[in-house]
Structure formats: C-alpha cells, structure tokens
Amino acid sequence: MNNNNNNVYNHTHNLESITISDIDNNNKNEKLFFSVWRNKYLLNEIQRHHRLYNENKIININKSMDQLRYHPHRRYATEIIINVGEPLEPHGQLIPYGTTKLNFFDRFNKPIQAGDIPTTVTSLELDQDIPIGTFPLSLTTLKQNKFNRTITPGSFGSIVNLSLESFNQPLKDGDLPITCKYLYLGSYNQPLQPNILPPELKELKLLHFNHPLSYGVLPESITDLNMNYFNHPLLYGVLPESITNLNMNYFDHPLSNSLSALHSLKTLFLGSFNQEISIQTFPHSIEKLWFFSFNRVIKPNVLPPSITDLLLYAFNQPLSEGVPPESITDLHMNHLNCPLSNSLSTLHSLKKLNLQKFNQIIKPNELPSITQLNLDAYNHPLSNGVLPESITFLSMGKYNHPLSNSLSTLHSLKTLFLQSFNQVVKPNELPESITSISKNLDHSLSNSKH
C-alpha cells in the first residue's frame, strides 16, 4: 500500500514538475519573443529615422516657401537654404526648431524680424544688409555679405567666425566680439588702431586693406594672415611672431628684417614682391615659399634650408650651386631659361621639377633623381643618361626630335606627354612601363607598326 502511495506521489510530483517547467519555459520563450520583437521594432524605427534624417537634413527652398511650410519631414532638417523672394511667414514658426545652419541667398529680399530665426541656429549666411540685432545669440558663425553699417558695440554676441564681405566703416573699440577667432573683411580699407581687433584672433583676412600698420594693431594670437592689397613698408615687430601662414599678394617693399622674428612662419606668398633679399630676410622655419613676380639674382644660402616647396614663377636669372636649398621637394621655375650647370644636381630630395619655359641643352647628371618633370618648351635632342631613371611623369610639349634611346632606360616612366612630337617611334625606344601617352604619340606608335 505504501509503495503504491509512493508511486502515485512520485508520478504526481513529476507531472507537476514538468508542468511548472513547461510554464517557465513558455514564459521565457514569450519574454524572449517580445524582447526580440521589441528590439527589431526599435531597430526598424531607428533605421527609419536615420534614413529620414539623411534624406532631409538639408532642405533647399528654391521655388516657393511652401516647400518648407508644408514639408512633411521639416523637423529632420539641420541645414536650410532659402533662395526665394517670399516673406518668412508665419512669423517665428516657418523655420523649424532644431535647424543649426541657415543660408539666405540673393533672391531672398524680405525683412527678417527678431524671432524668425530659431535659437538652435549656430551658423547663418545671408546676402542682405540686415540689422545685427535680429539674430539669435546662439550664433557662432555669421557670414553677412552685404552688411555695411556702423556697428553698435556688443551687437555681435559671441560670434567665433565672422565674415563681412562688404563692410567698410571705421571700426571702434568693442565693435568686434572678443570671442571672434576667424575674421574675414573682404572690402575693409580703413585705418586700424591697437586693441580694435579681437584679442584671441587666429585667422585674419583683410583683402582690400592698404593702410600702414603700427605696433600692437595685430593680436599676438594670429596664425593665418592674408592682406592681399597691403603695400606699405613693414617694420620689425609689427607682424606677430605667432604667424604660420602669410599672404601679401601686392606687397613690394624691402623686407630687411621685418620677417626674421617670425619663427613659426611656414607658408609665405608674395605675389608682386621684387626686392633684393639677403640671408637675414626669411626665418629658417619657412617650408613653402611662393614668388610670382620676383626676378632678382639669388646668392647661395639666402633661401632658408627648411624650404620644401619653392615657386619662382617669373624668375629668370643664372643659378649657381647652393641657391635652391637641398631640402626642396617641389621646385617651380616657370620662366627660367638659363643653363642649369650643376645648380640642381645636389638636390637629392627633389621630386617635382617644373621648368615650363626652359629651352637650354641639358647635360648628363644636371638633373637629380626626380619623379615628375615638366619641360613644356624644351626642344633639343636628348641623349641617353640625360633624364634620370627615376622619372614617372614626363611632359615635353614642344619636343620634336628622334627619341633614339633617350627614354628607353626610364623603367619607372608611367605618363608621357609629347604634344608636338611628330617622329617615327622605333621598337624598344619607349619603356614598357608607360601606361598613359599623348594622342599624337599614340598615332606615331601606330604608324611605326606598319
């Protein structure tokens, strides 16, 4: 009897255990199902919103404001471009909250009122002369192309990047925000006094400015300076020592030692400069030096040994050894037409050489191991060993002499342009490494096969 009772109990207990276990498993499976379903639903929702954002993050309004007013996904937009001549209605509601970048182009000519631009906008560009007070204080970037009014001090708020293309009113202390680090004044041509420019300015572009500069006018924080039209003598110490990039396109006065203290200067552009230079003229930090009008004799060791990129566009004076620094990797002397002799042979770092107008006989070992060579005007017979075997790109636009074996050893040559070439190309005169040639040369090759 006890055994039967025990068997019944065990059987019932096992059934209960199985039932409870099944229920637990079912609950777990149900939770897992809904968890997977929810995750999949959330994933689909995330993907849908991501797709809508990518498709609508920039909205271009170029036909009617209705494009924005009734846009089904306007809330996804972060950048809106408006180029229609219609008012911003309804007032304070047309441009969606969440927009961060707003551009008004020249066709837009309606008033902008305070509140029309949401406080989420941080970057604003417009082609109208609109009072600054209508803009939200959230702006950090402002590009106003036609603004030309007297500035009320403090009206620019906390702008960091300020561009005023047409502004040409005298600047007073406090007119520009102290937060400004990037300042572009495309038309400004008024005298500047000390403490007018923001104290933490990094980049300054004064494209039409042409007034004498005195000590303290330019902040010591400036790293990039572009004074395109500036053409007044420079005194030592006027330019901040922090400058790394300097562009003075129309400057043409003796430099003496006015740049010598700029030990951070890396890039220098002098478009019109054509004055004598000496060993004290340039700091030994310059890596990129571009002259467009300079055409004076350069003595050895005058150019800094730090230069890697040198442009002497109009230069056409005899070169001697030690004139181009051995550090140079890119050399452009577009109008040079004087014998090379050994002036370039020691430039072991040189890779690109542009001698566009050069038409003097080149002798063996006069060219270093360059990879790119431009001799557009060159038209003298070439003998074997004149061109370095390291060349990968060669352009000789006027060359029209038999090749013989002058190119056959250039086993690295990939691109060859001989635009005026009209000679028969014999077998093995061109290296097999060439992958691109000028059309006329391709025609010469075709004719040589018949």
pLDDT per residue over 289-340, tens digit each?
A: 999 999 999 999 999 999 999 999 999 999 999 999 999 999 999 999 999 9
Q: What is the pTM of this model?
A: 0.85
Distance CA 167, CA 189 (A): 9
* Strand partners of residue 309: 288, 330
Which pLDDT belongs to residue 15? 45
Phi, psi of 28 (to 5 degrees): -65, -45
- N-to-C CA span, the chain: 116
- Domain membership of residue 49 (yes or no) is yes
Q: Which two tokens stand for residue 46?
A: 């995330």
Distance CA 146, CA 321 (A): 53
10 Å CB burial of residue 2 (0-12, 13-18, 19+) is exposed
Domain of residue 28, residue span: 1-56
Q: Which two tokens stand for residue 379?
A: 């038209």
Length reported for the chain: 450
Q: Which two tokens stand for residue 87?
A: 């008012």
The one-letter amino acid at 395 = S
CB 190 within 8 A of CB 168: yes
- Domain membership of residue 326 (yes or no) is no
DSSP 310: E
- Domain membership of residue 25 (yes or no) is yes
10 Å CB burial of residue 299 (0-12, 13-18, 19+) is middle
Phi, psi of 345 (to 5 degrees): -65, -25
- Domain membership of residue 266 (yes or no) is no
- Domain membership of residue 159 (yes or no) is no
Q: Which two tokens stand for residue 133?
A: 């007070």
Q: Which two tokens stand for residue 255?
A: 């430099």
CB 178 within 8 A of CB 157: no
Residues 6+ apart with CB under 8 A from 415: 392, 393, 394, 395, 434, 435, 436, 437
Distance CA 164, CA 182 (A): 11
- Domain membership of residue 239 (yes or no) is no
How far from chain centre, in Å, is Cα 286?
19
Number of domains in the chain: 1
For the chain, which residues score pLDDT lower than 70?
1-38, 41, 43, 45, 48-50, 52-53, 439-450
10 Å CB burial of residue 427 (0-12, 13-18, 19+) is exposed
- Domain membership of residue 4 (yes or no) is yes
Residue 115 region by backbone torsions, left for phi larger than 0, else alpha for psi between -120 and 50, else beta: left
- Domain membership of residue 43 (yes or no) is yes
- pLDDT tens, residue by residue, 166-192: 999 999 999 999 999 999 999 999 999
DSSP 410: -
Which pLDDT belongs to residue 131? 74
| Residue-by-residue DSSP string for 415-430 | EEE-TT--SPPPTTSS
